[in-house]
């Protein structure tokens, strides 16, 4: 099974893809089975909730580790942005705003870190380091949501409710 995770309309970036299961996946412009050239991470089944999770070992922003608890993480395509448990949210917002080379702007609910729009330049890379050695890299404008003509915000919001076992839901 394959799932395309498109970027936000109007942003100059590329679509993302998510493949589940073993098999051969042919993807243009490659004429070969791409499952052999991309990194992978195992899915973790949760028999209590019938959900599948991934093991997030660490999160890095701008190459620096963010101090969070690591563990099984739910990915959901239902929310239009990443929803994080409060302690993870606060640690990520602090690291992200400290690394971003963009002028800060007033926050827009439900987001906590907003900046003057500059087309995604100056945005730090976000890396999710996953079980199995894979790294999920989130580039520039893919980590932002445009809230109006002159303002972008980090594509994350806070939730007091833990997702599955307290990690996050990512609906990019």
Tell me the per-residue pLDDT of 79-131, one tens digit each, with 9 for 90 and over: 777 777 777 778 888 898 889 888 899 988 888 888 888 666 788 888 888 88
Q: How far apart are CA 95 and CA 108, in angstroms?
A: 19
What pLDDT does 5 receive? Answer: 56
pLDDT, greater one: 156 or 129: 129
Containing H/E element for 88?
A: helix 86-99
Q: How far apart are CA 77 and CA 74, in angstroms?
A: 10
- Which pair of structure tokens corresponds to residue 116? 């003057």
What pLDDT does 27 receive? Answer: 73
Region of 95 please: left (phi>0), alpha (psi -120 to 50) or beta. Answer: alpha
Quick one: pLDDT band at residue 159, thresholds 50, 70, 90?
low
What pLDDT does 170 receive? Answer: 47
Q: How far apart are CA 162 and CA 146, in angstroms?
A: 26
What's 111's DSSP letter?
B
Using the Cα atoms of residue 5, residue 75, residue 147 and residue 118 in order, give the sign of their dihedral: negative
What's 21's DSSP letter?
S
Q: How far apart are CA 124 and CA 102, in angstroms?
A: 10
Q: Is pLDDT above 50 for 138?
A: yes
What topology is assigned to 42-169 in CATH? Cathepsin D, subunit A; domain 1 (2.40.70)
Model pLDDT for residues 23-65, shown as the tens digit of each residue: 787 777 778 887 777 777 888 887 887 877 888 888 899 999 9
The residue ranges of every structural domain in the chain are 42-169
CB 49 within 8 A of CB 164: yes
């Amino acid at each position: 099974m394959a799932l395309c995770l498109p970027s936000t309309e109007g942003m100059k970036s590329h679509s993302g893809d998510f493949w589940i299961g073993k098999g051969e996946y042919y993807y243009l412009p490659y004429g070969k089975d791409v499952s052999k050239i991309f990194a992978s991470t195992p899915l973790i089944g949760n028999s209590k909730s019938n959900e599948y999770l991934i093991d997030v070992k660490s999160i890095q922003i701008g190459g620096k580790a963010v101090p969070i608890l690591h563990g099984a993480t739910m990915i959901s395509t239902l929310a239009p942005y990443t929803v994080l448990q409060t302690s993870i949210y606060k640690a990520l917002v602090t690291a992200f705003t400290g690394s971003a080379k963009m002028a800060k702007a007033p926050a827009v609910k439900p987001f906590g870190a907003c900046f003057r729009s500059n087309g995604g330049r100056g945005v730090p890379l976000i890396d999710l380091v996953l079980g199995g050695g894979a790294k999920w890299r989130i580039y520039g404008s893919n980590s932002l949501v445009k809230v109006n003509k002159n303002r972008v915000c980090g594509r994350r919001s806070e939730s007091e409710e833990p997702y599955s076992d307290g990690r996050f839901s990512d609906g990019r």
